[in-house]
Structure 1
Amino acid sequence: MIGSSPLRTYIAHVLLILGVVLVAFPIYYTFVASTQTLQTILRPPLPLVPGDRFFANYYEAIFGGVGRIGGVGVGTLLFNSTVMALGIAVGKIVISILSAYAIVFFRFPLRMTFFWLIFITLMLPVEVRILPTYKVMVDFGLIDTYAGLIVPLIASATATLLFRQFFLTIPGELVEAARVDGAGPWKFFKDILLPLSRTNIAALFVILFIYGWTQYLWPLLVTNRNDMNTIVIGLRKMVSFADADTEWHLVMVTAVLAILPPILVVVLMQRWFVRGLIETEK
Structure 2
Amino acid sequence: MDSLATGSTALPPPRAVPVTTEALVRATRRRQRREKIFAHAVLILGILIVVFPIWVALVGSTHDAGTLGRGDVPLLPGTHAVENYTAAWNQGGGRIATGGAGLMLLNSALMAVLIAVGKIAISLLSAFAVVYFRFPGRNIAFWIIFITLMLPVEVRLIPTFQVMVNLQLTDTMTGLVLPLIASATATLLFRQFFMTIPDELAEAAKLDGAGPLRFFRDVVLPLSRNSIAALFVILFIYGWNQYLWPLLIINDKSLETIVVGLSKMIGTGDSQNEWNTIMASAVLALLPPVFVVVAMQRWFVRGLTETEK
TM superposition score category, shorter chain reference: over 0.9
Give the counterpart of 1:139 among 166, 171, 178.
166
Aligned to 2:258: 231
Aligned-pair RMSD on alpha carbons? 1.6
Q: Alpha-carbon deviation of 1:209?
A: 0.7
Q: C-alpha distance in 2, partners of 1:143/1:67?
A: 26
Whether the aligned pair in 2 keeps the contact of 1:200 and 1:280 (CA below 8 Å) is no
Q: C-alpha distance in 1, partners of 2:132/2:138?
A: 10
Q: Alpha-carbon deviation of 1:6?
A: 2.1
Q: C-alpha distance in 1, partners of 2:158/2:176?
A: 15
Q: Which moved more, 1:13-22 or 1:61-70?
A: 61-70
Q: Alpha-carbon deviation of 1:65?
A: 4.9
Q: Alpha-carbon deviation of 1:281?
A: 5.9
Q: Alpha-carbon deviation of 1:279?
A: 2.0
TM-score when normalising by structure 2: 0.87
TM-score when normalising by structure 1: 0.95
Aligned to 1:21: 48
Does residue 205 of structure 1 match 2:252? no
Aligned to 2:277: 250
- Mark the structure with the bigger radius of gyration: 2
| Within-5 A mapping of 1:97-108 | 97-108=124-135
Q: C-alpha distance in 1, partners of 2:157/2:90?
A: 34
Aligned to 1:259: 286
Aligned to 1:95: 122
Does residue 161 of structure 1 match 2:188? yes
Per the alignment, in what secondary structure is the counterpart of residue 128 of structure 1? helix
Whether the aligned pair in 2 keeps the contact of 1:69 and 1:234 (CA below 8 Å) is no
- Provide Cα deviations, 1:13-54, integer angstroms capped at 9, x if missing partner: 222211111111110110000111000111232221111111
Aligned to 1:77: 104
Q: C-alpha distance in 2, partners of 1:169/1:255?
A: 42
Per the alignment, in what secondary structure is the counterpart of residue 5 of structure 1? helix
Q: C-alpha distance in 2, partners of 1:278/1:129?
A: 33
Aligned to 2:5: none
Q: Alpha-carbon deviation of 1:67?
A: 6.1
Whether the aligned pair in 1 keeps the contact of 2:171 and 2:251 (CA below 8 Å) is yes
- Provide Cα deviations, 1:64-120, integer angstroms capped at 9, x if missing partner: 354645351111110111111111111000000000001111111111111111111
Give the counterpart of 1:44 among 71, 76, 84.
71
Q: Which moved more, 1:138-147 or 1:68-77?
A: 68-77
Whether the aligned pair in 1 keeps the contact of 2:96 and 2:264 (CA below 8 Å) is yes
2:179 corresponds to which letter in structure 1? P
Whether the aligned pair in 1 keeps the contact of 2:193 and 2:308 (CA below 8 Å) is no
Count matched residues.
281
Does residue 9 of structure 1 match 2:36? yes
- Provide Cα deviations, 1:111-146, integer angstroms capped at 9, x if missing partner: 111111111111123210111100111111111111
Q: C-alpha distance in 1, partners of 2:93/2:101?
A: 8
1:123 corresponds to which letter in structure 2? M
Whether the aligned pair in 1 keeps the contact of 2:92 and 2:278 (CA below 8 Å) is no
Q: C-alpha distance in 2, partners of 1:35/1:156?
A: 40
Whether the aligned pair in 1 keeps the contact of 2:94 and 2:273 (CA below 8 Å) is no
Q: C-alpha distance in 2, partners of 1:117/1:65?
A: 43
Does residue 59 of structure 1 match 2:86? yes
How many percent identity over aligned positions? 59
CA separation of 1:41 and 1:67: change in aligned 2, threshold 3 A: closer
Whether the aligned pair in 2 keeps the contact of 1:238 and 1:251 (CA below 8 Å) is yes
Whether the aligned pair in 1 keeps the contact of 2:116 and 2:239 (CA below 8 Å) is yes
Q: C-alpha distance in 2, partners of 1:24/1:252?
A: 15
1:273 corresponds to which letter in structure 2? F
Q: Which moved more, 1:140-149 or 1:69-78?
A: 69-78
Query: Structure 2, unaligned stretches of length 5 or more?
Result: 1-27
Q: Alpha-carbon deviation of 1:185?
A: 1.0
Whether the aligned pair in 2 keeps the contact of 1:202 and 1:273 (CA below 8 Å) is yes
Does residue 151 of structure 1 match 2:178? yes
